[in-house]
Amino acid sequence: QMADKKEVIEIEKDNNLDKQEEGKPDKKEITLSVSDGDKKEDQTILTPLEDYIKTAAYLGTKVITPTMRKYVYRRRLDGLAILNTLLVDKKLAEGIDFIKQFKPGDWTLICKREAGWRGAKMFAELTGVRTYTKKYPSGVLTNTVLDDFIETKMVVICDPWLDKNALKDAKNIRIPVAAICDTNNHTADCDVVMIGNNKSNKSMGLFFWLMAREYMKAHGIDKECPSLEDFVGEKLILEEPRKKKMAREKKEQDLKSAESAIEEKMRALAEKADEEALDGMKEEEEKESVRVGEVVAEGV
């Protein structure tokens, strides 16, 4: 019971952190490390870079484990780690290539974290893969006496810590495990590591959308794949960087001030022109009045 309470507290902390940080432009950052000895590629493999940014898939935690350090590109001044987005894409592509080797009935998806429930359920409906959300049935992979005992050739988990019971069972029966790992996760028992923010409904929606799309293609599943926003459950907006936003707002304010100054000057010129025209009319009227008076005097 104490362990369950600790898990609930940790989940609430993770969810609160995600709500506070998701979608915010990055604060000023400092370099922590540069990962992957391979030469960096300029483009992502699975989806445009903007999708990873909009869903905060690159956002890690304040904790960085030794096995995840090589994937971290920067650490923000507030302590949050920033994953190398190109590596997020690369490792996810490698993980999906591994998963595609298994037929829908040969593997199991497990997602205890609430942020991934929507995406996991949609993935299961589209592909027919056996999926457990909320609570993992203890012993379902290892205890043959149980009525709900299942045999599976591979397991995908969404967090090595929250899904630790499933990870332990999979290792006991010696089947491979693919896992979505954040910067605070240990990857020692995971055979295939996909890196990314596993605490956000947006990033988890992105991961399951990409998995569903590629898996359906590979296995010829003739269904229409919903959009990324359907998997996420909300409209995605690409946040403008803070410095760029401030510069744009300043430029707009300067332009607005200049327009106001021009309008004020034009108004003053128009008023002056009206006054001059009115003075001219009065002067003409006075001249006309004098001329008429002179004509009348001459007639008399």
The predicted pLDDT at position 290 comes to 72
Per residue in 29-86, pLDDT (tens digit) is 333 333 444 444 457 889 999 999 999 999 999 999 999 999 999 899 889 999 999 9
The last residue of a domain, from among 238, 254, 272:
238
164 plus 181 within the same structural domain: yes
287 plus 185 within the same structural domain: no
Residue 180's alpha-carbon distances to 59, 103, 139, 142, in angstroms, are 13, 20, 22, 23
94 plus 114 within the same structural domain: yes
Tell me: pLDDT of 173 over 60.
Answer: yes
The last residue of a domain, from among 188, 217, 238:
238
Q: Are strands 177-181 and 154-157 parallel, antiparallel or unpaired?
A: parallel
171 plus 227 within the same structural domain: yes
Average pLDDT over residues 113-139: 94
Per residue in 207-221, pLDDT (tens digit) is 999 999 999 999 999
Whole-angstrom Cα distance, residue 34 to residue 51?
22
Give residue for tokens 């507290």. Answer: 9
Give residue for tokens 């998701």. Answer: 22
Highest mean pLDDT among 43-57, 177-191, 262-276: 177-191
What is the pTM for the complete model shown? 0.68
Among the listed ranges 13-22, 190-199, 264-273, which one has the minimum average pLDDT value? 13-22
The last residue of a domain, from among 238, 257, 282:
238
Nearest Cα neighbor of 148 from 138, 134, 158, 156 is 138
Per residue in 217-239, pLDDT (tens digit) is 999 999 999 999 999 987 777 66
The predicted pLDDT at position 286 comes to 76
232 plus 244 within the same structural domain: no
205 plus 160 within the same structural domain: yes
The predicted pLDDT at position 40 comes to 46
264 plus 173 within the same structural domain: no
56 plus 100 within the same structural domain: yes
Mean pLDDT of the chain: 84
Determine the structural domain holding residue 53 and report its residue range: 2-238
Q: What is the CATH number of the domain that holds 6?
A: 3.40.50.10490
186 plus 273 within the same structural domain: no
Confidence category of residue 282, pLDDT binned at 50, 70, 90:
confident
For residues 68 and 82, the answer to whether their CB atoms sit within 8 Å is no
208 plus 151 within the same structural domain: yes
160 plus 201 within the same structural domain: yes
Nearest Cα neighbor of 205 from 196, 216, 193 is 196
Q: Which residues pair with 133 in a beta bridge?
A: 111
138 plus 282 within the same structural domain: no
The total of structural domains in the chain comes to: 2
